[in-house]
A and B are shown apart, each in its own frame.
Chain A
Amino acid sequence: MPSPATASALRALRRGCISFASLWLAAASAHAALEIEVTSGVRDPVPIAIVPFTHVPADGGLDVAEVIQHDLEGSGRFKALPRERMPATPTRAEEVTAGAWKGAGSDYVVVGRVSALEGGNVAVEFDLINTLTGARLATQRFSGAPGALRNAAHRVSDVIYQKILGVRGAFATRIAYVGVDGAPPTQTYRLFVADADGANQQRILESRFPLMSPSWSPDGQWLAYVSFETKHSAIYVQLVRTGERRQVSARAGVNGAPEWSPDGKKLALTLGGSGGNPDIFVLDLGSQALTRITDDPAIDTEPVWAPDGRSLYFTSDRAGSPQIYQIGIQSGARPKRITFGGTYNARPRVSADGTLLAMVTLDSGNYRIAVQELATSTVRVLSHGHLDESPSFAPNGATLIYAERDSSRGSLGTVSTDGLTGLRLKASEGEAREPAWGPFIP
């Protein structure tokens, strides 16, 4: 009679190999252009041991266990056992003596193998073991091109995170952000995508004029953004893999704040028109049909879709100061005010489950990231900077990434939505801003 955990591991095995060969990944340059520092963590992180994986044949390649350890410790929820204190170096579940690891202070052990497959691909297999019960909580195998090994390591981290904390990890995801360097008035603006841990950074656009507001399509293939390259604002969509792009809005006045609809077929955006009054619109990317959503002399901007695609949250100063409102996208819908605390609440983002609203709030003279529980209207300020902005939810809703500017340079920070853990990603040069966390990639 197998234990429930073992049964679940067997089910995982029967589901078979999960291929990531179709993923498009960087084979070359794995330089982390963003450096990570953990800024806060939980008081009782889960003690775990990630034993170096065996490589067959020994290839001297990526240290998969190190990437996993970096992911898990970076989450602030785990504390890894240093390698020199490991009682043994097993690579299979059968070789693990649970008591020895319990004695070394670890509640869980991860062991694994990297092996070369015929045809040039590689496979990563791992086992996650509970040292108290000896139960195997997960056994899984990922295979793909050698260049995807790092992604496979992140996928292992995602599984471990889910098995132990009950929430899917978001390590095997990507972020987009804007990099700026040079001194005003001659700055260079670059649009980057990178792995969620800052590795595999790739520039996808460069301009002498501002680039703003990157937004991922729900399939993670496209970015929408604002570029001023023609000395007027215009919205583009760009296929990340090939660089192919097209201009989708270059109307008179402001073209801003594009946000992809959950079905990937539409963009919510801000248009100012020649009269200069920004309102919210929805653009159908297939038919090019434009639908007006708001019509108010105030600044209406920064729309974001509710997860069901039937309403938008947006910023408006119609009541005198910027606050967040919600409006249905059907014609004749009227906006409902969502935020009431304080004099400045702007740039809403919604968690994938629709329960949390993240925003920029003015908190005792400082612009900070806050979340509001939509059901109860309870607000928690999560960040501690002076000029924090641009919050973006991880697809698992557990973490936010945002931009901060506490020194002379801008960097990116993350904070968990319970406020307990955080880290900072610093650009190796220049300033990083406007992070957008991409979706889960199947």
Chain B
Amino acid sequence: MAEKRSMQRVLVVLLVAASLSLAACASKKPKAAPPVSGEATNAASGGAGDANAAGAGANADSEAAGPQAGLLATRVVYFDFDSSEIKGAGTDVVAAHAKYLASHAAIRVRLEGHTDERGSREYNIGLGERRAQAVRRALLLQGAIDAQISTVSYGEERPAVSGHDEAAWAKNRRVEIVYLALPTGAAKQ
């Protein structure tokens, strides 16, 4: 009984905390969390611990469906362990996107580099960047122009799948080609 009562108390605390954070999330500002004291005054002035609304410039980076024909529907290039060499099926995928970008100069892509979970996190950011840059160079060599391409490395931070074996790791060592929306006012191709 005592345990049940304390559980209920915990639930009440959680609900209050959740409603506070929901209320706080309504704020559009990318404010950080209220201070530890949890005093109402601080919570009101401190705003929410919510980085999701931090969207300044998000419109410029909105994602688009992009082309879907043939190989262009494939948006992921996979890599071997500790390698940034594009090979096998990845070569054809990158070539198809390069050709498309070369003939659609206003279209922009973001290359997102990823690694598996092994090794240290910031070093993996470096490895993911190396993979994204390998795809970038391949696109440039095949006719895309620099202004069409941006890169970001998420390292091991955004796995495609969970799991701690080679099958999962192979799916996570990748570069994702993300098509971006045309800037407002840009001519549609």
Contacts and interface: CB of A to CB of B under 8 A. Distances in A.
Contacts of B121: 212-213, 347, 389-390, 434
Nearest to A187: B158
A28 B37 contact: yes
Interface stretch (A110-118, A129-137, A241-249): A241-249
Interface string A251-280: 001101100000000000010100110100
B66 interface: no
B157 A256 contact: no
Interface string B4-22: 0000001001000000010
Contacts of B36: 24-26, 193, 200, 202, 240-241
B37 to A, nearest CB: 6
Residue picked from B54, B117, B129, most chain A C-beta under 10 Å: B129
B33 A206 contact: yes
Interface stretch (A9-17, A91-99, A230-238): A230-238
B57 interface: yes
Interface string A405-442: 10010000000000000000000000000100000000
Interface string A221-233: 0000001111111
Contacts of A202: 33, 35-36
Interface string A390-408: 1000000000000001001
B38 to A, nearest CB: 5
Nearest to B53: A229
Contacts of A189: 157
A269 to B, nearest CB: 10
A315 interface: yes
B56 A230 contact: yes
Interface in A347-379: 347, 360, 367
A61 interface: no
A143 to B, nearest CB: 19
B188 interface: no
A25 B125 CA distance: 35
Interface in B10-67: 10, 13, 21, 30-39, 42, 46-52, 54-58, 61
B172 to A, nearest CB: 8
Interface in B116-166: 117-123, 125-127, 129-130, 132-133, 136, 150-155, 157-162, 164
Interface in A125-168: 147
Contacts of A254: 125-126, 129, 153
A183 B158 CA distance: 10
B147 to A, nearest CB: 11
Interface string A327-347: 000000000000000001011
Residue picked from B110, B132, B158, most chain A C-beta under 10 Å: B158
Contacts of B39: 27
Contact of B120 (A193, A228, A315): A315
Q: Which of the four size classes fits the interface of chain A?
A: 35 or more
A227 B154 CA distance: 10
Nearest to A359: B120
B157 A210 contact: yes
A177 B174 CA distance: 27
A286 interface: no
Q: Is the interface of B mostly helix, strand, loop or mixed?
A: loop
A253 B129 contact: yes
A393 to B, nearest CB: 16
Contact of B33 (A204, A209, A213): A204
Contact of B123 (A191, A302, A386): A302
A184 B158 contact: yes
Contacts of A310: none
A7 interface: no
Contacts of B34: 243
B40 to A, nearest CB: 11
A203 B20 CA distance: 13
A83 interface: no
A389 B56 CA distance: 33
A301 B123 contact: yes
Given A24-B37, A28-B38, A231-B152, A205 B122 contact: no
B35 A243 contact: yes
Nearest to B176: A185
In the A-B complex, the 4 residue pairs with the smallest Cβ-Cβ separation, listed nearest first, are A299-B126, A243-B32, A210-B157, A207-B51
Interface of A: 24-29, 31, 147, 183-185, 187, 189-191, 193, 200, 202-213, 227-233, 238, 240-245, 253-254, 256-257, 270, 272, 275-276, 278, 299, 301-302, 315, 317, 322, 344, 346-347, 360, 367, 386-387, 389-390, 405, 408, 434
Given A228-B152, A243-B47, A272-B153, 18 more contacts: A29-B38, A184-B161, A206-B48, A206-B50, A206-B51, A207-B52, A228-B157, A229-B54, A230-B56, A230-B57, A240-B35, A242-B46, A256-B122, A275-B133, A302-B122, A315-B120, A346-B119, A346-B120
21 contacts: A27-B37, A27-B39, A28-B37, A184-B158, A200-B36, A203-B49, A208-B52, A229-B54, A230-B56, A231-B152, A238-B32, A240-B36, A245-B32, A272-B126, A299-B130, A301-B122, A315-B122, A347-B123, A360-B119, A367-B119, A434-B121
